C-alpha cells in the first residue's frame, strides 16, 4: 500500500510540474479561445502574446461588448482587447487597441470614448506632439453660435488638406460615431496628420517600417490612452486564464497537501482514526516545514521560471518576434523539452528526498511468544 501511495504522490506531482513547464502555446500557437459569453485574447497582453494572460471581452451583465465587437469588425477593425472591463467616469468601459468602448445604460448602446479630447483635457497635447507626431487641437472658438450641422461642416473642412486622409475618413461606415470630428491638421515632416476626436490619421510621405509611402494609417487610440496614462492600474493589468489559474493553484497546493497527508497515510497505525493520522501528520509537518518548502522551491519554482523565461526576454528589448520564432521552431521545442526533462528529474529527486527524511516511523508490532503470550 505504501509503495503504491509513493508512486501516486510522485506521479501526480510530476504531472502537474510537467504541465506547468510545457510551452505556453502547446496547442499549435492559438493566442485566443472562446468563452461561454465572449472570447479571451492574449495578443495585447504586453508580452507579445506569450504566457497565459490576456483580456476577456464578453456580454456579461447584459452589456453587449462582445456582440458589438463582432458587429463592428472584431480585431481587424478595432484591434484586440487591451484592458479588462472597468468603471470609468461613471460608465462601464473597455479598451481595445484602436478604440475605447463605453456603455450607455440610458440608451443601451455602446459608444466610443473621445480619447484624444480626454488627453487634451488632461494636458497631454505636448506629449502627443513630441512622442506621437500629433498636432494640438485647433481653437474651437469659431464653433460658438453655430448649429451642429455647421460645426460638422467647419471641422470636415480640415479634411480638404489631404485627399488620401479624406478618402480614408469617409470610407468608414459611420465616421462621426467611430472617429469623431477632425480637430487639427498639420504637416509633421515625414507625414501629414489629421487629428480627430477618436483617432489620428497619418499620411506617410516616405517609407517607414509600418507603412509605405502614400499609405494612410490610423493610430491606435486605445493604446495611446494607455501609454499616456489615461487608464492604469488593475484595469489594464492582464487577466490570467481561468484554466491556467486553476492549474497554477493546483501546482502550488499539491506538494503541500500531499506531503502533509502522505506520511500519516503511509505510516500511521492501521487502527488509528483518520483524525489521529492527520493530527500526527500535522505535528510531523511542523517539524519538517523547511524540507517541505525546499520541495516547493525545487519543483514549482523552476517550473514557473521556465514558463516565464520567454516573457522575461521579450520585456528586455525589441526582440519579441525573434523569441517567438525560436520558441515555435524545432530547435526551440527541443531546447524546451530538454529543460522540461531536467526539471522533472530534479523534481523527482526533491520529492524522494523529502519523503525519505520526513516520513513517520513505521509502527512496531509486539512479538508473540510460542504459547501466544505477548513478549515483554
Rounded Cα gap, residues 121 and 15, in angstroms: 54
The mean pLDDT value for 269-289 works out to 60
Residue 320, pLDDT score: 43
Least confident among 9-13, 277-281, 347-351: 9-13
Contact in structure between 180 and 194 (CB atoms under 8 Å): no
pLDDT tens per residue across span 301-311: 665 565 555 54
Judged against a pLDDT cut of 80, whether residue 207 lies above it is answered with yes
How crowded is the C-beta side of 167, counted as CA atoms within 13 Å?
7
More confident residue, 232 or 349: 232
Rounded Cα gap, residues 198 and 232, in angstroms: 19
Burial of 38 (0-12, 13-18, 19+ CB in 10 A): buried
Q: Domain map of the chain by residue range?
A: 2-27+241-358, 135-218
Distances (CA, A) of 109 to 112, 225, 375: 10, 22, 87
Rounded Cα gap, residues 24 and 324, in angstroms: 11
Burial of 73 (0-12, 13-18, 19+ CB in 10 A): exposed
- Residue of 292, 294, 263, 301 whose CA lies nearest to 280: 263
Amino acid at each position: 500500500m505504501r509503495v503504491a501511495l509513493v508512486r501516486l504522490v510522485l506521479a501526480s506531482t510530476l504531472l502537474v510540474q510537467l504541465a506547468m513547464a510545457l510551452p505556453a502555446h502547446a496547442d499549435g500557437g492559438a493566442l485566443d479561445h472562446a468563452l461561454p459569453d465572449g472570447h479571451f485574447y492574449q495578443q495585447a497582453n504586453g508580452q507579445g502574446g506569450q504566457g497565459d494572460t490576456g483580456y476577456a471581452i464578453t456580454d456579461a451583465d447584459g452589456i453587449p461588448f462582445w456582440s458589438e465587437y463582432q458587429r463592428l469588425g472584431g480585431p481587424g477593425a478595432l484591434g484586440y482587447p487591451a484592458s479588462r472591463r472597468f468603471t470609468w467616469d461613471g460608465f462601464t468601459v473597455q479598451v481595445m487597441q484602436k478604440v475605447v468602448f463605453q456603455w450607455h445604460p440610458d440608451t443601451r448602446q455602446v459608444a466610443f470614448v473621445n480619447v484624444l479630447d480626454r488627453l487634451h483635457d488632461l494636458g497631454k497635447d505636448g506629449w502627443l506632439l513630441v512622442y506621437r507626431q500629433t498636432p494640438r487641437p485647433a481653437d474651437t472658438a469659431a464653433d460658438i453660435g453655430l448649429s451642429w450641422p455647421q460645426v460638422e461642416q467647419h471641422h470636415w473642412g480640415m479634411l480638404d488638406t489631404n485627399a488620401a486622409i479624406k478618402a480614408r475618413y469617409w470610407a468608414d461606415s459611420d465616421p462621426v460615431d467611430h472617429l469623431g470630428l477632425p480637430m487639427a491638421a498639420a504637416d509633421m515632416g515625414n507625414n501629414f496628420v489629421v487629428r480627430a476626436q477618436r483617432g489620428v490619421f497619418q499620411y506617410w510621405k516616405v517609407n517607414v517600417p509600418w507603412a509605405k509611402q502614400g499609405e494612410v494609417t490610423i493610430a491606435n487610440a486605445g493604446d495611446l490612452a494607455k501609454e499616456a496614462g489615461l487608464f492604469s492600474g488593475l484595469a489594464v493589468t492582464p487577466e490570467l486564464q481561468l484554466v491556467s489559474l486553476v492549474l497554477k493553484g493546483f501546482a502550488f497546493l499539491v506538494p503541500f497537501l500531499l506531503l502533509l497527508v502522505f506520511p500519516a497515510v503511509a505510516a500511521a497505525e492501521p487502527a488509528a482514526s483518520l483524525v489521529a493520522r492527520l493530527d500526527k501528520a500535522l505535528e510531523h509537518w511542523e517539524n519538517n516545514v523547511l524540507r517541505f518548502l525546499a520541495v516547493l522551491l525545487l519543483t514549482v519554482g523552476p517550473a514557473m521560471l521556465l514558463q516565464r523565461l520567454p516573457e522575461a526576454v521579450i520585456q528586455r528589448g525589441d526582440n519579441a518576434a525573434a523569441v517567438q520564432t525560436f520558441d515555435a521552431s524545432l530547435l526551440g521545442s527541443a531546447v524546451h523539452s530538454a529543460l522540461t526533462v531536467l526539471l522533472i528529474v530534479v523534481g523527482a529527486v526533491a520529492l524522494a528526498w523529502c519523503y525519505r527524511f520526513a516520513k513517520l516511523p513505521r509502527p512496531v508490532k509486539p512479538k508473540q511468544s510460542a504459547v501466544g503470550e505477548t513478549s515483554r
